[in-house]
Structure 1
Amino acid sequence: MSFVKKFGAIYKTDLKLLRRDPMLLYSVAMTLVLLLIVRYFKDRVGVYYSLLALVVLVLIPMIFGMLPGFMMADEKEEKTVQALKVIPISSEAFLAYRLTWASIVVAVFTFVAPYILDIEIPQKGLLALMTLFLFEAWTYGLMISSLSESRMQALTVSKVLGWLLFLPPAIKLIVVWRNLSTDWSKFTAFLPTYWLYKVFEEISLNDYSNFPIALAVHLAWLIPLVVMFRKRVL
């Protein structure tokens, strides 16, 4: 079977899932609403706005990384993954296909979000954030698909992992808001989202010294997840 026919077979499955459960459309609408709500409060939160903007920005890769994770969990539950082994298709090619559309949506939202939020991010900073957001989306999607055997399990896993990944920027927001003497968010430095906000807050200073560290931490999470996916899923 040709490369095009292989992915055409998977694409038909995707269309069925989207017609039955249009989560992508709901997620796009929800993300736009969240961005507009945060923008509405810009003049009301003052100096805390940049961190509040980051909190909603972090949700973008989490929301759209969750969707392919759910789709792959559905495929595991309905035994579609086993059928894919007959095509045959490599784990890497399947992942590349499954995460491509999510990556495109994340990249588009990362590009337009600063305009909606009315925050200035230079092109270099935007590319840095976009790169990390893509890694975030892939990591979150692989976590859900590798640790779930059904849609119900995927919902539970996504909630637990979502709160975990959401901790660094949320704690940082509390530290700044309450003017705490200790930056408690540093104890979450093992999480990729910690380095995401470190890069974000230094963009205005034209300082990208933490970007290589952020990239390394994201890869340290992503590579084992890809290995786990190959062993447990496809």
Structure 2
Amino acid sequence: MKSVFHLIKGDMKQIYRDPMLLISLIGPLLLILLVRFILPFATAQFALGAYNGLLASFFILLIPLLLGIMAGFIMLDERDDKMIDYFAVTPLSKQGYLLYRLLLPGVLTVLYGYIYLEWASPVSLPILDKLLVTVMLAMEAPIICLFLVTIAANKIEGLALSKGVGLVVFVPFIVYFVSESWNWAGGILPTFWPAKLFLIEGVHLMNSLFIGVLGAGIHIFYIIQLSKRFLRKTD
């Protein structure tokens, strides 16, 4: 438990000192305010009402992206400073350290995602769809975090890689503009599945369950595989 408190205390100090991490932490809140107060005005001015589902799915995907990048940068710093090796020999263990690092952005994503869906989203989803979207978003932040720390050799590479990772938030445009028979190819990307729930036509319980369960399975697969790769890489 002391190791966890040490991590939390260290995170607070690091985020406060690093403007990029601070922006990643408060960025989702600023995004929510933008969608709540600015987007309706822009939608009315430019007649974008028909694209509300597309815009809602695009903006909500930015939440796990920002938080996943934040967690990834923290882990890259700790790996460079050999802190992961230190935690590996404490009661927390390397697996416990990884669990904490993945839970942090996941929990923050759930909190921000709930506020977004209940207060700011330009479209209202059925309760089941909200739950499924929230579950998948909670796993996307850890996926982004793990992707950065397993691919990047250091924080500089992580910064460059994060720009490429950011492209995944444009997946909703594939779902929206590409024909139904072809856009399923985007299903290999985790962000495809929550976007699909936003853009599905009509309210169909079985369709929502199919998309949600399959999407959650894809997310879990990525987390397991990337976690294994991280643990091997830090041995």
**Shared fold, TM over 0.5:** yes
* CA displacement 1:152-198 (0-9 Å, x = unmatched): 111112112221x234213234x1xxxx6676533322111122222
Equivalent pair of 2:43/2:49 in contact (CA under 8 Å): yes
Distance 1:204 1:191 in 2: 23
Aligned to 1:18: 15
Conserved 8 A contact 2:113-2:134: yes
Q: Which whole-Å CA distance do the structure 2 matches of 1:107 and 1:182 have between them?
A: 29
Answer yes or no: is 1:117 the counterpart of 2:121: yes
Number of aligned pairs?
A: 225
1:188 matches 2:186: yes
What is the aligned partner in structure 2 of residue 155 from structure 1?
A: 159
- CA deviation vs aligned residue, 1:43-90 (integer Å, no higher than 9, x gap): 330211111111011111111111111100111112222222232433
Normalising by structure 1, report the TM-score: 0.85
Over 3 Å counting, the alpha-carbon distance change for 1:18 and 1:26 in structure 2 is same
Q: Aligned equivalents of 1:16 and 1:25: distance in 2?
A: 10
Q: Would you say 1:131 and 2:135 are equivalent positions?
A: yes
Larger mean Cα displacement after TM superposition, 195-204 or 222-231: 195-204
State, as a whole percentage, how many aligned pairs show the same letter: 27
The 1:40–1:105 alpha-carbon spacing in structure 2 relative to 1, beyond 3 Å, is farther
In structure 2, the residue matched to 1:40 is: 41
Instruction: Please list every run of 5 or more consecutive structure 1 residues that lacks an aligned counterpart in the other structure.
Output: none
**In structure 1, the residue corresponding to 2:188 is in which secondary structure?**
coil
Whether contact under 8 Å (2:143, 2:222) holds in the other structure is yes
Cα deviation, residue 220, structure 1? 2.0
| Residues 67 and 109, structure 2, Cα contact 8 Å, conserved in 1 | yes
Structure 2 alignment gaps of length 5 or more:
none
SS of residue in 1 equivalent to 2:185: helix
Distance in structure 1 (CA, Å) of the matches to 2:73 and 2:11:
12
| Matched residue, 2:90 | 87
Task: Give the CA deviation at 1:121.
Answer: 2.1
- Residues 5 and 32 (structure 1 numbering): CA distance in 2 closer, same or farther, change over 3 Å? closer
Q: CA 1:8–1:181 in structure 2 vs 1: closer, same or farther (change >3 Å)?
A: closer
Within 2, Cα distance between the matches of 1:182 and 1:104? 33
Is 1:199 aligned to 2:197, yes or no? yes
2:103 to 78, 100, 104: 100
Partner of residue 217, structure 2: 216
Amino acid at match of 2:163: K
The code of the aligned residue for 2:109 comes to V
